[in-house]
Protein backbone atom coordinates (compact mmCIF):
# COMPACT_ATOMS: atom_id res chain seq x y z
CA UNK A 1 0.00 0.00 0.00
CA UNK A 2 1.79 3.14 -1.16
CA UNK A 3 -0.92 5.75 -0.65
CA UNK A 4 -3.68 5.59 1.94
CA UNK A 5 -7.19 4.96 0.65
CA UNK A 6 -9.23 8.07 -0.13
CA UNK A 7 -12.61 6.44 0.44
CA UNK A 8 -14.40 3.17 1.22
CA UNK A 9 -14.05 1.85 -2.35
CA UNK A 10 -10.30 2.44 -2.27
CA UNK A 11 -10.10 0.62 1.05
CA UNK A 12 -12.01 -2.37 -0.34
CA UNK A 13 -9.66 -2.50 -3.33
CA UNK A 14 -6.53 -2.35 -1.17
CA UNK A 15 -7.83 -5.06 1.15
CA UNK A 16 -8.38 -7.25 -1.93
CA UNK A 17 -5.09 -6.40 -3.67
CA UNK A 18 -2.97 -6.83 -0.55
CA UNK A 19 -4.56 -10.15 0.43
CA UNK A 20 -5.72 -8.79 3.79
CA UNK A 21 -7.73 -11.44 5.60
CA UNK A 22 -8.64 -9.70 8.85
CA UNK A 23 -9.51 -6.15 9.85
CA UNK A 24 -9.28 -4.57 13.26
CA UNK A 25 -12.02 -2.03 13.96
CA UNK A 26 -10.16 -0.02 16.57
CA UNK A 27 -11.12 2.93 18.76
CA UNK A 28 -9.71 4.41 21.97
CA UNK A 29 -11.19 5.42 25.31
CA UNK A 30 -10.19 8.45 27.38
CA UNK A 31 -6.85 6.85 28.23
CA UNK A 32 -5.89 6.18 24.62
CA UNK A 33 -6.13 2.44 25.14
CA UNK A 34 -6.85 0.74 21.82
CA UNK A 35 -9.89 -1.54 21.81
CA UNK A 36 -10.85 -3.55 18.74
CA UNK A 37 -12.86 -6.30 17.18
CA UNK A 38 -11.26 -8.49 14.57
CA UNK A 39 -13.48 -8.77 11.50
CA UNK A 40 -12.80 -11.25 8.67
CA UNK A 41 -12.17 -9.34 5.45
CA UNK A 42 -15.13 -10.97 3.70
CA UNK A 43 -17.30 -8.89 6.05
CA UNK A 44 -15.67 -5.61 5.01
CA UNK A 45 -18.92 -4.28 3.53
CA UNK A 46 -20.74 -4.81 6.82
CA UNK A 47 -17.88 -3.17 8.68
CA UNK A 48 -17.67 -0.10 6.43
CA UNK A 49 -21.44 0.37 6.27
CA UNK A 50 -22.57 -0.58 9.77
CA UNK A 51 -19.41 -0.52 11.90
CA UNK A 52 -18.58 -2.88 14.75
CA UNK A 53 -20.59 -2.98 17.99
CA UNK A 54 -19.21 -2.95 21.54
CA UNK A 55 -20.50 -2.75 25.10
CA UNK A 56 -19.00 0.68 25.76
CA UNK A 57 -18.97 0.35 29.54
CA UNK A 58 -16.70 -2.71 29.24
CA UNK A 59 -14.25 -0.94 26.93
CA UNK A 60 -13.21 1.75 29.39
CA UNK A 61 -13.94 5.41 30.08
CA UNK A 62 -15.97 6.37 27.06
CA UNK A 63 -19.02 7.90 28.70
CA UNK A 64 -21.16 4.82 29.08
CA UNK A 65 -22.91 2.94 31.86
CA UNK A 66 -23.74 -0.77 31.71
CA UNK A 67 -27.33 0.14 30.80
CA UNK A 68 -26.40 2.13 27.68
CA UNK A 69 -26.99 0.96 24.10
CA UNK A 70 -23.96 -0.39 22.22
CA UNK A 71 -21.30 1.91 20.91
CA UNK A 72 -20.58 1.41 17.23
CA UNK A 73 -17.04 1.87 15.92
CA UNK A 74 -17.27 3.32 12.40
CA UNK A 75 -14.05 2.91 10.37
CA UNK A 76 -12.34 5.88 8.78
CA UNK A 77 -11.35 4.30 5.43
CA UNK A 78 -8.32 6.59 5.06
CA UNK A 79 -6.82 5.24 8.30
CA UNK A 80 -6.32 1.70 6.96
CA UNK A 81 -2.97 0.48 8.34
CA UNK A 82 -1.48 -2.92 7.48
CA UNK A 83 0.32 -4.60 10.40
CA UNK A 84 3.89 -4.77 9.03
CA UNK A 85 4.67 -7.86 11.10
CA UNK A 86 1.41 -9.60 10.16
CA UNK A 87 0.52 -8.28 6.70
CA UNK A 88 -2.68 -10.28 6.34
CA UNK A 89 -4.15 -8.08 9.09
CA UNK A 90 -4.95 -4.35 8.94
CA UNK A 91 -6.59 -1.89 11.26
CA UNK A 92 -9.08 0.89 10.77
CA UNK A 93 -9.07 3.77 13.25
CA UNK A 94 -12.73 4.28 14.10
CA UNK A 95 -15.02 7.00 15.35
CA UNK A 96 -17.58 5.96 17.91
CA UNK A 97 -21.29 6.44 17.29
CA UNK A 98 -24.35 5.49 19.36
CA UNK A 99 -27.71 4.90 17.70
CA UNK A 100 -26.47 6.57 14.54
CA UNK A 101 -25.25 9.74 16.24
CA UNK A 102 -21.68 10.84 16.82
CA UNK A 103 -20.62 10.07 20.38
CA UNK A 104 -19.15 13.18 22.05
CA UNK A 105 -17.06 11.10 24.48
CA UNK A 106 -15.06 9.60 21.60
CA UNK A 107 -11.61 11.24 21.73
CA UNK A 108 -11.09 10.91 17.98
CA UNK A 109 -14.44 12.60 17.38
CA UNK A 110 -13.55 15.37 19.84
CA UNK A 111 -10.38 16.13 17.87
CA UNK A 112 -12.19 15.90 14.52
CA UNK A 113 -14.73 18.47 15.70
CA UNK A 114 -11.96 20.81 16.90
CA UNK A 115 -10.17 20.46 13.56
CA UNK A 116 -13.40 21.14 11.68
CA UNK A 117 -13.89 24.38 13.65
CA UNK A 118 -10.29 25.27 12.87
CA UNK A 119 -10.84 24.56 9.16
CA UNK A 120 -13.74 27.05 9.20
CA UNK A 121 -11.10 29.68 10.00
CA UNK A 122 -9.00 28.39 7.12
CA UNK A 123 -6.35 26.65 9.24
CA UNK A 124 -4.94 23.15 9.47
CA UNK A 125 -3.04 21.82 12.50
CA UNK A 126 0.03 19.69 11.87
CA UNK A 127 1.81 17.69 14.55
CA UNK A 128 4.92 15.61 14.90
CA UNK A 129 4.99 13.34 17.98
CA UNK A 130 8.11 12.01 19.70
CA UNK A 131 7.04 8.86 21.50
CA UNK A 132 9.75 7.75 23.93
CA UNK A 133 9.61 4.27 25.42
CA UNK A 134 11.45 1.91 27.74
CA UNK A 135 12.21 -1.73 27.01
CA UNK A 136 11.85 -3.61 30.29
CA UNK A 137 11.32 -7.10 31.63
CA UNK A 138 9.15 -8.30 34.50
CA UNK A 139 11.11 -9.95 37.26
CA UNK A 140 9.78 -13.04 39.04
CA UNK A 141 9.28 -10.92 42.17
CA UNK A 142 6.84 -8.68 40.26
CA UNK A 143 9.22 -5.75 39.86
CA UNK A 144 10.68 -4.57 36.56
CA UNK A 145 14.21 -4.29 35.24
CA UNK A 146 15.78 -2.76 32.11
CA UNK A 147 15.62 -5.39 29.35
CA UNK A 148 19.30 -4.91 28.45
CA UNK A 149 21.34 -5.87 31.55
CA UNK A 150 24.44 -4.14 30.13
CA UNK A 151 22.63 -0.78 29.84
CA UNK A 152 24.03 0.71 33.04
CA UNK A 153 25.97 3.81 31.97
CA UNK A 154 25.37 6.92 34.03
CA UNK A 155 25.06 8.94 30.81
CA UNK A 156 23.51 6.48 28.37
CA UNK A 157 22.00 9.09 26.03
CA UNK A 158 23.02 8.47 22.40
CA UNK A 159 25.29 5.60 23.48
CA UNK A 160 26.17 3.85 20.25
CA UNK A 161 27.00 0.56 21.94
CA UNK A 162 23.65 0.38 23.75
CA UNK A 163 21.88 1.20 20.51
CA UNK A 164 23.89 -1.53 18.81
CA UNK A 165 22.97 -4.13 21.42
CA UNK A 166 19.31 -3.31 20.73
CA UNK A 167 19.70 -3.08 16.97
CA UNK A 168 17.54 -6.11 16.32
CA UNK A 169 14.57 -4.44 18.00
CA UNK A 170 14.97 -0.81 17.01
CA UNK A 171 15.86 -1.59 13.39
CA UNK A 172 12.76 -3.74 13.10
CA UNK A 173 10.62 -0.86 14.42
CA UNK A 174 12.38 1.53 12.02
CA UNK A 175 11.86 -0.73 9.00
CA UNK A 176 8.19 -1.17 9.89
CA UNK A 177 7.62 2.55 10.43
CA UNK A 178 9.06 3.27 7.00
CA UNK A 179 7.07 0.41 5.48
CA UNK A 180 3.95 2.05 6.87
CA UNK A 181 4.84 5.12 4.82
CA UNK A 182 5.55 7.32 7.86
CA UNK A 183 9.29 7.59 7.15
CA UNK A 184 11.46 6.89 10.18
CA UNK A 185 14.29 9.42 9.98
CA UNK A 186 16.13 8.79 13.25
CA UNK A 187 16.41 6.38 16.16
CA UNK A 188 18.30 7.10 19.34
CA UNK A 189 19.04 5.73 22.74
CA UNK A 190 17.43 8.26 25.02
CA UNK A 191 18.53 9.81 28.27
CA UNK A 192 17.54 6.91 30.54
CA UNK A 193 18.89 3.37 30.60
CA UNK A 194 16.66 1.18 28.44
CA UNK A 195 14.96 4.17 26.80
CA UNK A 196 14.58 4.80 23.06
CA UNK A 197 13.01 7.24 20.65
CA UNK A 198 12.25 6.59 16.98
CA UNK A 199 11.03 9.54 14.97
CA UNK A 200 8.67 9.69 12.05
CA UNK A 201 7.58 12.62 9.89
CA UNK A 202 4.98 15.12 11.04
CA UNK A 203 1.68 15.42 9.23
CA UNK A 204 -1.91 16.56 9.83
CA UNK A 205 -2.99 16.27 13.46
CA UNK A 206 -5.61 13.53 13.05
CA UNK A 207 -3.25 11.28 11.10
CA UNK A 208 -0.43 11.79 13.63
CA UNK A 209 -2.80 10.86 16.46
CA UNK A 210 -3.99 7.74 14.60
CA UNK A 211 -0.34 6.86 14.01
CA UNK A 212 0.63 7.47 17.62
CA UNK A 213 -2.01 5.02 18.82
CA UNK A 214 -0.86 2.44 16.27
CA UNK A 215 2.82 3.07 17.01
CA UNK A 216 2.42 2.40 20.73
CA UNK A 217 0.45 -0.74 19.92
CA UNK A 218 3.08 -1.89 17.40
CA UNK A 219 6.09 -1.29 19.64
CA UNK A 220 4.32 -2.98 22.56
CA UNK A 221 3.37 -5.97 20.37
CA UNK A 222 6.89 -6.38 18.98
CA UNK A 223 8.35 -6.26 22.49
CA UNK A 224 5.84 -8.86 23.68
CA UNK A 225 6.97 -11.19 20.88
CA UNK A 226 10.37 -11.12 22.61
CA UNK A 227 8.97 -11.66 26.07
CA UNK A 228 9.63 -8.00 26.90
CA UNK A 229 7.49 -5.03 27.82
CA UNK A 230 7.73 -1.75 25.92
CA UNK A 231 6.25 0.96 28.09
CA UNK A 232 5.34 4.56 27.30
CA UNK A 233 4.43 5.13 30.96
CA UNK A 234 5.78 8.56 31.95
CA UNK A 235 8.06 7.53 34.82
CA UNK A 236 8.64 3.80 35.32
CA UNK A 237 11.87 4.37 37.28
CA UNK A 238 12.17 7.05 39.96
CA UNK A 239 15.88 7.62 39.41
CA UNK A 240 15.76 7.85 35.60
CA UNK A 241 14.44 10.35 33.07
CA UNK A 242 10.80 9.74 32.08
CA UNK A 243 8.98 9.14 28.80
CA UNK A 244 7.95 12.32 27.03
CA UNK A 245 5.77 12.45 23.97
CA UNK A 246 6.74 15.93 22.83
CA UNK A 247 4.37 17.43 20.29
CA UNK A 248 5.81 19.67 17.57
CA UNK A 249 2.96 21.83 16.30
CA UNK A 250 2.46 24.22 13.42
CA UNK A 251 -0.56 25.87 11.85
CA UNK A 252 -1.02 25.87 8.09
CA UNK A 253 -3.14 27.92 5.71
CA UNK A 254 -3.38 27.26 1.97
CA UNK A 255 -0.38 24.93 2.17
CA UNK A 256 1.82 27.50 3.95
CA UNK A 257 3.11 27.25 7.51
CA UNK A 258 1.73 30.43 9.10
CA UNK A 259 4.02 30.08 12.13
CA UNK A 260 7.09 30.53 9.99
CA UNK A 261 9.00 33.70 9.21
CA UNK A 262 12.55 34.52 8.26
CA UNK A 263 14.49 34.71 11.56
CA UNK A 264 16.15 37.87 10.22
CA UNK A 265 12.72 39.54 10.14
CA UNK A 266 11.73 38.28 13.58
CA UNK A 267 12.84 40.80 16.24
CA UNK A 268 13.10 37.89 18.71
CA UNK A 269 15.09 35.90 16.19
CA UNK A 270 13.29 32.55 16.57
CA UNK A 271 11.78 32.46 13.08
CA UNK A 272 8.24 32.59 14.45
CA UNK A 273 5.50 34.76 12.95
CA UNK A 274 3.24 37.07 14.96
CA UNK A 275 0.54 34.42 14.91
CA UNK A 276 3.10 31.86 16.08
CA UNK A 277 3.96 34.00 19.10
CA UNK A 278 0.29 34.43 19.90
CA UNK A 279 -0.12 30.66 19.81
CA UNK A 280 2.85 30.35 22.20
CA UNK A 281 1.22 32.92 24.48
CA UNK A 282 -2.05 30.97 24.39
CA UNK A 283 -0.25 27.78 25.35
CA UNK A 284 1.43 29.58 28.23
CA UNK A 285 -1.78 31.25 29.42
CA UNK A 286 -3.58 27.91 29.56
CA UNK A 287 -0.74 25.50 30.33
CA UNK A 288 -1.66 24.94 33.97
CA UNK A 289 -5.08 23.73 32.85
CA UNK A 290 -4.30 21.77 29.67
CA UNK A 291 -1.46 19.89 31.30
CA UNK A 292 -4.15 17.79 33.01
CA UNK A 293 -4.80 16.45 29.51
CA UNK A 294 -1.26 16.34 28.09
CA UNK A 295 0.18 14.81 31.28
CA UNK A 296 -2.95 13.02 32.47
CA UNK A 297 -1.83 10.48 35.05
CA UNK A 298 -0.67 10.40 38.66
CA UNK A 299 2.64 9.13 37.34
CA UNK A 300 2.98 12.04 34.86
CA UNK A 301 3.89 14.52 37.58
CA UNK A 302 6.81 12.41 38.72
CA UNK A 303 8.37 13.19 35.31
CA UNK A 304 7.64 16.92 35.51
CA UNK A 305 10.23 17.81 38.10
CA UNK A 306 13.51 19.66 38.19
CA UNK A 307 15.38 17.38 40.62
CA UNK A 308 18.09 15.52 38.75
CA UNK A 309 17.94 11.83 37.87
CA UNK A 310 21.26 9.99 37.54
CA UNK A 311 21.86 11.46 34.07
CA UNK A 312 21.87 15.00 35.50
CA UNK A 313 18.67 16.46 33.99
CA UNK A 314 15.02 15.41 33.75
CA UNK A 315 14.53 17.06 30.33
CA UNK A 316 10.98 17.73 31.47
CA UNK A 317 9.34 21.08 32.20
CA UNK A 318 8.31 22.28 35.64
CA UNK A 319 7.61 25.92 34.74
CA UNK A 320 5.40 27.85 32.33
CA UNK A 321 8.00 29.19 29.92
CA UNK A 322 9.19 29.28 26.35
CA UNK A 323 12.53 29.68 24.71
CA UNK A 324 14.72 29.10 21.71
CA UNK A 325 16.43 25.72 21.24
CA UNK A 326 16.51 25.19 25.01
CA UNK A 327 15.31 21.91 26.47
CA UNK A 328 14.76 23.25 29.98
CA UNK A 329 11.73 25.23 28.74
CA UNK A 330 8.13 24.04 28.60
CA UNK A 331 7.90 25.27 25.02
CA UNK A 332 10.91 25.11 22.75
CA UNK A 333 11.22 26.66 19.32
CA UNK A 334 13.83 24.32 17.86
CA UNK A 335 13.54 25.76 14.36
CA UNK A 336 11.56 28.51 12.67
CA UNK A 337 7.87 27.76 12.22
CA UNK A 338 7.25 25.11 14.85
CA UNK A 339 6.63 24.95 18.57
CA UNK A 340 7.60 21.96 20.67
CA UNK A 341 5.41 21.34 23.70
CA UNK A 342 7.33 19.29 26.24
CA UNK A 343 4.51 18.84 28.75
CA UNK A 344 3.07 15.97 26.71
CA UNK A 345 3.98 12.48 27.96
CA UNK A 346 3.59 8.88 26.90
CA UNK A 347 0.40 8.38 28.89
CA UNK A 348 -1.51 11.01 26.95
CA UNK A 349 -4.46 10.30 24.76
CA UNK A 350 -3.03 11.96 21.64
CA UNK A 351 -6.44 13.05 20.33
CA UNK A 352 -7.32 14.80 23.59
CA UNK A 353 -3.82 16.23 24.02
CA UNK A 354 -3.94 17.72 20.51
CA UNK A 355 -7.43 19.14 21.11
CA UNK A 356 -6.42 20.70 24.41
CA UNK A 357 -3.27 22.28 22.99
CA UNK A 358 -5.14 23.58 20.00
CA UNK A 359 -7.78 25.23 22.19
CA UNK A 360 -5.04 26.82 24.31
CA UNK A 361 -3.01 28.07 21.35
CA UNK A 362 -6.04 29.43 19.49
CA UNK A 363 -7.07 31.33 22.63
CA UNK A 364 -3.77 33.20 22.30
CA UNK A 365 -4.50 34.00 18.66
CA UNK A 366 -8.07 35.12 19.39
CA UNK A 367 -7.02 37.36 22.28
CA UNK A 368 -3.85 38.52 20.47
CA UNK A 369 -1.72 37.58 23.48
CA UNK A 370 1.99 38.24 23.60
CA UNK A 371 4.31 35.73 25.29
CA UNK A 372 7.01 38.28 26.15
CA UNK A 373 10.62 37.59 25.34
CA UNK A 374 11.91 34.04 25.13
CA UNK A 375 13.73 32.68 28.13
CA UNK A 376 17.34 31.73 27.56
CA UNK A 377 18.20 30.59 31.10
CA UNK A 378 18.94 27.10 32.28
CA UNK A 379 15.70 26.78 34.22
CA UNK A 380 16.99 23.73 36.08
CA UNK A 381 19.42 25.84 38.08
CA UNK A 382 17.07 28.75 38.80
CA UNK A 383 16.37 29.40 42.47
CA UNK A 384 12.80 29.97 43.67
CA UNK A 385 13.60 33.67 44.24
CA UNK A 386 15.04 34.13 40.75
CA UNK A 387 12.07 32.35 39.25
CA UNK A 388 9.59 34.53 41.11
CA UNK A 389 11.47 37.69 40.17
CA UNK A 390 11.35 36.67 36.52
CA UNK A 391 7.59 36.11 36.83
CA UNK A 392 7.85 32.47 35.78
CA UNK A 393 4.95 30.41 37.05
CA UNK A 394 5.04 26.82 38.23
CA UNK A 395 3.17 24.04 36.47
CA UNK A 396 0.84 22.01 38.72
CA UNK A 397 2.80 19.62 40.92
CA UNK A 398 0.32 16.76 40.72
CA UNK A 399 -2.75 15.47 38.90
CA UNK A 400 -5.18 16.77 41.52
CA UNK A 401 -3.89 20.35 41.22
CA UNK A 402 -3.94 20.07 37.44
CA UNK A 403 -7.60 18.98 37.46
CA UNK A 404 -8.43 21.97 39.66
CA UNK A 405 -6.88 24.28 37.06
CA UNK A 406 -8.68 22.45 34.27
CA UNK A 407 -11.99 22.79 36.08
CA UNK A 408 -11.64 26.59 36.06
CA UNK A 409 -10.74 26.86 32.38
CA UNK A 410 -13.49 28.04 30.06
CA UNK A 411 -11.05 27.79 27.15
CA UNK A 412 -10.60 24.05 27.70
CA UNK A 413 -14.31 23.58 28.43
CA UNK A 414 -15.17 25.01 25.04
CA UNK A 415 -12.28 23.23 23.34
CA UNK A 416 -13.15 19.72 24.50
CA UNK A 417 -16.85 20.25 23.93
CA UNK A 418 -20.18 19.16 25.33
CA UNK A 419 -21.35 15.69 26.29
CA UNK A 420 -24.81 14.46 27.21
CA UNK A 421 -24.82 15.78 30.76
CA UNK A 422 -22.48 18.77 30.64
CA UNK A 423 -18.93 19.40 29.47
CA UNK A 424 -16.42 16.68 28.57
CA UNK A 425 -13.98 18.45 30.88
CA UNK A 426 -16.14 17.56 33.93
CA UNK A 427 -16.36 13.93 32.84
CA UNK A 428 -12.59 13.86 32.36
CA UNK A 429 -11.97 15.46 35.76
CA UNK A 430 -14.29 13.02 37.48
CA UNK A 431 -12.40 10.04 36.05
CA UNK A 432 -9.02 11.59 36.83
CA UNK A 433 -9.94 12.48 40.43
CA UNK A 434 -10.90 8.85 41.04
CA UNK A 435 -7.51 7.86 39.65
CA UNK A 436 -5.85 10.35 41.97
CA UNK A 437 -7.89 9.09 44.93
CA UNK A 438 -6.93 5.46 44.24
CA UNK A 439 -3.26 6.38 44.13
CA UNK A 440 -3.60 8.44 47.27
CA UNK A 441 -5.03 5.48 49.17
CA UNK A 442 -1.81 3.52 48.66
CA UNK A 443 0.67 3.31 51.51
CA UNK A 444 4.05 3.31 49.81
CA UNK A 445 7.32 1.76 50.90
CA UNK A 446 8.73 5.27 51.25
CA UNK A 447 6.06 6.13 53.83
CA UNK A 448 6.79 3.00 55.84
CA UNK A 449 10.52 3.63 55.69
CA UNK A 450 10.09 7.24 56.72
CA UNK A 451 7.35 7.08 59.33
CA UNK A 452 7.00 3.57 60.75
CA UNK A 453 9.59 4.02 63.44
CA UNK A 454 9.76 7.79 63.48
CA UNK A 455 6.40 7.90 65.27
MG1 LIG B 1 13.48 12.66 23.29
The beta-carbon contacts of 172-181 under 8 Å, at least 24 apart in sequence, are 172/85, 172/222, 173/198, 173/218, 173/219, 173/222, 174/198, 175/84, 176/84, 176/85, 176/218, 176/222, 177/215, 179/84, 180/81, 180/82, 180/84, 180/211, 180/214, 181/1, 181/2, 181/3, 181/4
Give the residue-averaged pLDDT of 98-116: 98
CATH number for 400: 3.30.590.10
| Distance from residue 84's CA to the centre of ligand 1 (Å) | 24
108 found inside a domain:
no
Residue 2's pLDDT is 67
Q: Tell whether 92 and 140 lie within a shared domain.
A: no
Q: How far is the CA of 194 from the centre of ligand 1 (A)?
A: 13
* Distance spanning both ends of the chain, measured CA to CA: 66
CA of 133 to the centre of ligand 1 (A): 9
CA of 130 to the centre of ligand 1 (A): 6
Q: How far is the CA of 356 from the centre of ligand 1 (A)?
A: 21
Given 103, 138, 157, the domain boundary residue is 103
Q: Does one domain contain both 229 and 350?
A: yes
pLDDT tens across 312-330, in order? 777 888 899 999 888 889 9
Report how far ligand 1's centroid is from the alpha carbon of 320 (Å).
19
The verdict on pTM exceeding 0.95 is: yes
Q: Model confidence over 217-265: pLDDT tens digits?
A: 999 999 999 999 999 999 999 999 999 999 999 999 999 999 999 999 9
- Residue 32 lies inside a defined structural domain of this protein: yes
**Dist. CA 198 → ligand 1 center (Å):** 9
**CA 7–ligand 1 middle distance (angstroms):** 35
The string of pLDDT tens digits covering residues 180-212 is 999 999 999 999 999 999 999 999 999 999 999
Confidence of residue 387 (pLDDT cuts 50, 70, 90): confident
Ligand 1 centroid to Cα of residue 318, in Å, is 16
pLDDT band at 305, cuts 50/70/90? confident
3 part of a folded domain: no
Q: 380 versus 269: which is more confidently predicted? A: 269
Q: Is the pLDDT of residue 138 over 80?
A: yes
| Same domain for 190 and 53 | no
Domain span including residue 71: 8-103
Distance 185 CA to ligand 1 centre (A): 14
pLDDT category of residue 306 using cuts at 50, 70 and 90: confident
Percent of the chain whose predicted confidence (pLDDT) is above 90 = 91
Are both 372 and 242 inside the same structural domain?
yes
Same domain, 220 and 94: no
Same domain, 12 and 123: no
Over residues 400-422, the mean pLDDT reads 97
- Ligand 1 centroid distance, CA of 366 (Å): 31
Split into its structural domains, the chain has a count of 2
312 CB contacts (<8 Å, ≥6 apart)?
A: 155
User: 197 C-alpha to center of ligand 1: Å?
Assistant: 6
In this predicted structure, what is the pLDDT of residue 41? 98
Mean pLDDT of the chain: 96
More confident residue, 390 or 78: 78
> Are 120 and 83 contained in the same domain?
no
Q: How far is the CA of 132 from the centre of ligand 1 (A)?
A: 6
- What is the structure's pLDDT at 108? 98
The predicted model gives 12-36 an average pLDDT of 98
> 131 CA to middle of ligand 1, Å?
8
- pLDDT at residue 311, rounded to an integer: 79
Ligand 1 centroid – CA 248 distance (Å): 12
Same domain, 76 and 144: no
Report the separation in Å between the CA atom of 176 and the middle of ligand 1, taken as the mean of its atom positions: 20
Amino acid sequence: MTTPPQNADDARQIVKDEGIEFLFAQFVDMHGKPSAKLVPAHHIDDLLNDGAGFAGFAAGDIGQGPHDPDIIAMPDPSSLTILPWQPNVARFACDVTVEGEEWPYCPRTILRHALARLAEQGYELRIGAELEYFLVRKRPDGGIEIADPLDTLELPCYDMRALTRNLDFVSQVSTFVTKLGWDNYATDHEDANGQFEQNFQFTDALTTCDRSVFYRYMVESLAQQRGLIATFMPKPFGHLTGNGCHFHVSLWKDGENVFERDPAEDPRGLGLSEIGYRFVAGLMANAKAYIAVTAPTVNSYKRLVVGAPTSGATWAPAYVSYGYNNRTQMLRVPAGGRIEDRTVDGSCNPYLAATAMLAAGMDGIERELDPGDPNAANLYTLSAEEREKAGIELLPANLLDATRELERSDVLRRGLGKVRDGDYVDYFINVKRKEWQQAHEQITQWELDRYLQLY
